[in-house]
């Protein structure tokens, strides 16, 4: 007989968990007390805020492919995880959040630090469950791992009453690999596969849109085989970046609001559009009334609810991208679309001349965000993990960082959570300790979760933090300049001495303001044995171009 708390820990270990991100509190003390005896088997990372626990768990999951785990107490501890749970839901990140809860006899009495965790999190999770008996803990946790990690991944919340934590149970671990009402791997319809292949074989201007579903299903090799056989150029969504190497000949860049000109324009020129593991987000499509109206559209996705949700498609292929891509590829005729692929070059040259050269190779003026991002990427051999916060730093990171291997981008896509970057970089470094982790963050976003520098210090994590400091909430300021008559309402920031703060947390630090010092500063940062904070003072009114105005046609980009 063991306690429910020990049953919880044994089940986590049985499910392959090596690290938990958490913050203790009154209604989770029994779990933490049991954890004291499992310190050699379960690493616990003490974050400085429960939101940080969820974002760290997300970063861990995104680079490792494993389920991230967060452990918090009841009441405010639980409610502080809401942003991270919603973020994980929108970005299909496998995560389990374990929340302590008041003893079951007190449920519904408005007891101290009681909150309805189930009611609050139900709309933003794949599954939620409240455990009131010790004998239900192992079952619920195993079920949670199965649901979180299979099909379209996502977050699960298990709310554990305190009496379940301290009660005793004859423990037995039974892994869950089947739930009658849940079919994570839908059967592939051969007729749909044949119709998709038929359309592609007849296409003269095929174009593939690569989403995060390719990475989540481990279908990178299958994607390459698919593209190569039919000679199909591809563009990536924000979260699909790194599914293909940046220098791959058929990779034509990023789609969307701040994407590359060529893939955006060619979306409205292709005759067959193949969307793989993406959900036609509004930041990718722009105005749906003008989006790819000339094309036959094929949608490959594991989630039936995404089919025809935003864009009406001609062929819907439901299933795991790894399997559906393989099935379609077998039916494809080898093809060459040299002229179509070459047509991307003119748009690429236009963007290079009008946007990229100005951002990466400025002749004068203050440092620009893009040039810093590119130089850091090159200095790592384009092998680092890119973590970003949200805003201009995010878009500059996505546009100008380069990738040679998969699972190299950690960013908040669907929810766009400022404050995501720093705790996510903690999880990313723990999830891929052998890789260099570079965080690009704005001066606004860093101050939302700045306290997590304490976690970096305590865990001695060699994350490389680059603050792109423009003394503005940069993306909001950009919108104010373009669409609100330069009325900069509440976006200019007076900032602290970030380098001094970094030193207080035991980090290597450097202030950077001059272009001539850029390479030396990057070399110092990457060579430093430990965490490093590089404060890059960039131009105050920098702009991220190209830009498709919100709700505009995807081909009508501002330069």
Task: Confirm if 512 and 521 have CB atoms less than 8 A apart.
Answer: yes
475 is catalytic: yes
The per-residue DSSP string of 283-350 comes to HHHB-GGGSSTTSEEEEEES-GGGTTSSS--SEEEES-HHHHHHHHHHTPPP---HHHHHTHHHHHHH
113 is catalytic: yes
Instruction: Tell me which DSSP letter residue 277 carries.
Output: S
Return the SS3 of 464.
strand
Task: Confirm if 421 and 440 have CB atoms less than 8 A apart.
Answer: yes
- Secondary element (H or E) of residue 82: helix 82-90
Catalytic residue among 41, 112, 492, 540: 112
112 is catalytic: yes
Alpha-carbon gap, residue 512 to 458, rounded angstroms: 26
Task: Confirm if 464 and 525 have CB atoms less than 8 A apart.
Answer: yes
Q: Which residues are CB-contacts of 221 (< 8 A; sequence separation ≥ 6)? A: none
Alpha-carbon gap, residue 235 to 241, rounded angstroms: 9
Closest CA to 96 of 15, 157, 54, 159: 157
Q: Which residues are CB-contacts of 360 (< 8 A; sequence separation ≥ 6)? A: 368, 370, 371, 374, 400
Alpha-carbon gap, residue 75 to 111, rounded angstroms: 10
Buried b (16+ CB within 10 A) or exposed e, 97-114: bbbbbbbbeeeeeebebb
CA geometry: angle at 99 spanning 95 and 104, to 5°?
Answer: 140
What is the three-state SS of 114-170? CCCHHHHHHHHCCEEEEECCHHHHHHHHHHHHHHHHCCCCCEEEEEEEHHHHHCEEC
Catalytic residue among 162, 192, 316, 322: 162
Closest CA to 451 of 87, 156, 80: 80
Closest CA to 354 of 545, 193, 524, 502: 545
Alpha-carbon gap, residue 338 to 484, rounded angstroms: 44
Alpha-carbon gap, residue 380 to 202, rounded angstroms: 42
Catalytic residue among 395, 396, 475, 543: 475
339 is catalytic: no
Catalytic residue among 18, 113, 366, 524: 113
Task: Confirm if 258 and 559 have CB atoms less than 8 A apart.
Answer: no
Catalytic residue among 6, 15, 50, 359: 50
Alpha-carbon gap, residue 168 to 250, rounded angstroms: 58
Alpha-carbon gap, residue 76 to 95, rounded angstroms: 19
* Residues forming the active site: 50, 112-113, 162, 475
């Amino acid at each position: 007989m063991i306690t429910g708390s020990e049953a919880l820990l044994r089940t986590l270990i049985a499910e392959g968990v090596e690290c938990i991100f958490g913050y203790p509190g009154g209604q989770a003390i029994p779990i933490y007390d049991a954890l004291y005896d499992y310190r050699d088997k379960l690493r616990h990372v003490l974050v400085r805020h429960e939101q940080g626990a969820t974002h760290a768990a997300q970063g861990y999951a995104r680079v490792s492919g494993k389920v991230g785990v967060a452990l918090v107490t009841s009441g405010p501890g639980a409610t502080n995880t809401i942003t991270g749970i919603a973020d994980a839901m929108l970005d299909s990140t496998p995560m389990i959040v374990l929340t302590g809860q008041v003893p079951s006899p007190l449920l519904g009495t408005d007891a101290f630090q009681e909150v309805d965790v189930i009611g609050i999190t139900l709309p933003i999770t794949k599954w939620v469950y409240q455990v009131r008996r010790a004998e239900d803990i192992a079952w619920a946790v195993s079920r949670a791992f199965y649901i979180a990690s299979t099909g379209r991944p996502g977050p699960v919340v298990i709310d554990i009453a305190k009496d379940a934590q301290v009660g005793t149970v004859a423990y037995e671990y039974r892994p869950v690999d089947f739930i009658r009402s849940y079919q994570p791997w839908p059967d592939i319809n051969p007729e749909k596969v044949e119709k998709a292949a038929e359309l592609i074989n007849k296409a003269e201007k095929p174009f593939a849109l690569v989403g995060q579903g390719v990475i989540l299903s481990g279908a990178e090799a299958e994607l390459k085989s698919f593209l190569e056989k039919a000679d199909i150029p591809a563009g990536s969504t924000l979260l699909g970046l790194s599914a293909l190497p940046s220098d791959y000949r058929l990779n034509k860049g990023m789609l969307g609001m701040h994407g590359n000109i060529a893939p955006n324009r060619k979306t409205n020129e292709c005759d067959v559009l193949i969307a793989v593991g993406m959900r036609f987000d509004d930041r990718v499509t722009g105005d749906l009334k003008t989006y790819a109206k000339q094309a036959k559209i094929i949608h490959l996705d594991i989630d039936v609810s995404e089919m025809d949700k935003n864009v009406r498609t001609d062929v819907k292929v439901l299933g795991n991208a790894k399997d559906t891509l393989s099935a379609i590829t077998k039916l494809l005729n080898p093809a060459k679309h040299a002229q179509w692929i070459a047509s991307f070059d003119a748009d690429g040259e236009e963007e290079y001349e009008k946007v990229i050269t100005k951002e990466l190779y400025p002749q004068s003026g203050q440092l620009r965000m893009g040039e810093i991002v590119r130089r850091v990427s090159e200095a790592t051999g384009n092998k680092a993990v890119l973590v970003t916060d949200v805003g201009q730093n995010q878009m500059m990171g996505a546009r100008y960082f380069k990738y040679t291997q998969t699972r190299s981008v950690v960013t908040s896509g669907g929810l766009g959570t400022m404050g995501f970057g720093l705790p996510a970089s903690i999880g990313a470094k723990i999830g891929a300790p052998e890789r260099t982790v570079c965080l690009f963050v704005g001066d606004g976003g860093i101050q939302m979760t700045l306290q997590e520098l304490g976690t970096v210090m305590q865990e001695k994590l060699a994350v490389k933090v680059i603050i792109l400091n423009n003394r503005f909430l940069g993306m909001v300021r950009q919108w104010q300049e373009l669409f609100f008559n330069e009325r900069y309402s509440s976006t200019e920031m007076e900032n602290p001495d970030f380098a001094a703060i970094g030193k207080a947390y035991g980090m290597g630090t450097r202030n950077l303001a001059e272009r001539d010092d850029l390479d030396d500063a990057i070399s110092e940062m990457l060579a430093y044995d430990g965490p490093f904070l590089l404060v890059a003072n960039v131009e105050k009114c920098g702009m991220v171009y190209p830009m498709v105005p919100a709700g505009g046609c995807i081909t009508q980009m501002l330069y």
